[in-house]
Structure 1
């Protein structure tokens, strides 16, 4: 059994006891993991906050780290359910592809998508797929509105319009923060533009971003302004 598997076996075992917790001997008995391995893993998990140890009862309990991780997962699923109706409305009004993205480490992840049957260009925005922060509209929103995001040292160029200079990217993020929306003008895929706006949670923090992707020729008329206004409106409606 791999160490990661052993660790999760222990976490599952301890977590099943709720606030009561379990003593060392009982954890060994229930999991069947050797004492030496159990002792080492328990020590490591207490050190990182995944478990706590009560000296008075000699029992291990689940720690706040698991609560934070669980809250993050729950929030991700909640936002997907919450935002879906507004994505559908965004797609209905614009006739274009509408997507929801969230932050995952130092990259974005497509969490939901409403496709357009009339959209002739294939989009590589499958649910669960990662996207770069510096070259996408939703990525710029996450960079601009989420605290503590670390920009990668080397910025990959996808087209000749991709921002690969850190100073220019910081300036772009400042502009996005002030205007409340972001635009990807053929910066990751030639022939496509994307407009995104932030979705805020109950704590007032940016929980994700929604966007609308369309052919680049929309910039030649007032279609882009209509899409921008609709994206901003639906993002505001989706925010708690």
Structure 2
């Protein structure tokens, strides 16, 4: 990775649960030495991507992040349309729905709607980065992206999140092959225990898979009947999001859905 990539990579460590981070912790999280980490932080502060609390000396996201996000949403409005689709997906399935965008080798949640009906439901933070190898969304995006995404994912560390996480490269290839055949990414407790996820990709006008629509349910509630309801609703959502992005669903994915009975 280059200098710019390494510097910007520090931003990925900030989240709702960790909004401020000190130099020592950022050094450990990033794996860089102290001098290098400090140099990156100084540059990010200079450009407004980060700011430093004068009292605690800890770093937090800066005003430039908000300015750029506002520009992106103003010029290419996406969030409001995606949120409406997410809400409908959650209502149709009575489960937690979320939409994520591909960002390097992770998925970044853009919108979510937790189950409107059940007290026992899956929760998700919008600041949470979703790994490709351990989630239904990750399997879906790899399966219908260019082959190099799978190879890059396999070369990266396959972290074990639960006892059910796939960390073997050949098993991951097999999981992707199944996803291609059925048209749905499916993960049974791969990222979080007692959570079952189902996901599908959506596409831009160039035909690239750029993100996923997903539904997560407690494993105790998952059944063949619920899975069928979720899959039908996901297809509707994927088509709607793809349309908002000026794209079309590839015929090979439509065919996979038909083979799966949808």
Asked if Structure 1 and Structure 2 have the same fold, meaning a TM-score greater than 0.5 normalized by the shorter chain, the answer is yes
Q: Which residue of 2 aligns with 1:223?
A: 226
Aligned residue number for residue 14 of structure 1 = none
1:72-151 pair list within 5 angstroms = 78-121=77-120, 123-147=122-146, 148-149=148-149, 150-151=152-153
> Once the 2 structures are TM-superposed, how far is the Cα of residue 236 of structure 1 from its aligned partner?
1.6
Name the SS for the 2:197 alignment partner.
Answer: strand
What do residues 193-223 of structure 1 show as CA deviations (whole Å, max 9, x unaligned)?
1110111112211121011111213443411
Q: Secondary structure at the match of 2:220?
A: helix
Q: Give 1:9-48 correspondences, 5 Å limit.
A: none
Pick from 211, 229, 232 the counterpart of residue 235 of structure 2.
232
Q: Which residue of 2 aligns with 1:170?
A: 173
Q: Contact (CA 8 Å) 1:196, 1:231: kept in 2 or not?
A: yes
Q: Are 1:184 and 1:193, in contact at CA under 8 Å, matched by a contact in 2?
A: yes
Q: 1:95 to 1:220 in 2, by over 3 A?
A: closer
Deviates further, 78-87 or 220-229? 78-87
TM-score by length of 2: 0.60
- Residues 126 and 76 (structure 1), Cα distance of their counterparts in 2 relative to 1, 3 Å cut: farther
Task: Name the counterpart of 2:192.
Answer: 189
Once residues 125 and 76 of structure 1 are traced to their aligned partners in structure 2, the CA distance between those partners, rounded to angstroms, is: 27
Q: Aligned partners of 2:236, 2:223: CA distance in 1, in Å?
A: 22
Q: Specify the alignment match of 2:212 in structure 1.
A: 209
Is residue 135–residue 188 contact of structure 1 (8 Å, CA) maintained in 2? yes
Q: CA RMSD in A?
A: 2.9
1:51-75 deviation line (CA, Å, top 9, x unaligned) = xxxxxxxxxxxxxxxxxx99xx669
Aligned length: 179
Contact 1:144 1:173 in 2 (8 A): yes
The answer to whether the Cα contact below 8 Å between 1:196 and 1:232 also exists between their aligned partners in 2 is: no
Structure 1, residues 74-128: CA drift from partner, whole Å, max 9, x if none?
A: 6996443332222111111111111011111211111110122433346452112
Kindly state the Cα deviation for residue 169 of structure 1 after the two structures are TM-superposed. Answer: 0.6
Please, which moves more after superposition, 74-83 or 140-149? 74-83
Between the aligned partners of 1:225 and 1:186, the Cα distance in structure 2 is 19
- What's the TM-score once normalised by structure 1's chain length? 0.65
Distance in structure 2 (CA, Å) of the matches to 1:213 and 1:76: 31
* Residue 163 of structure 2, aligned match among 149, 160, 164: 160
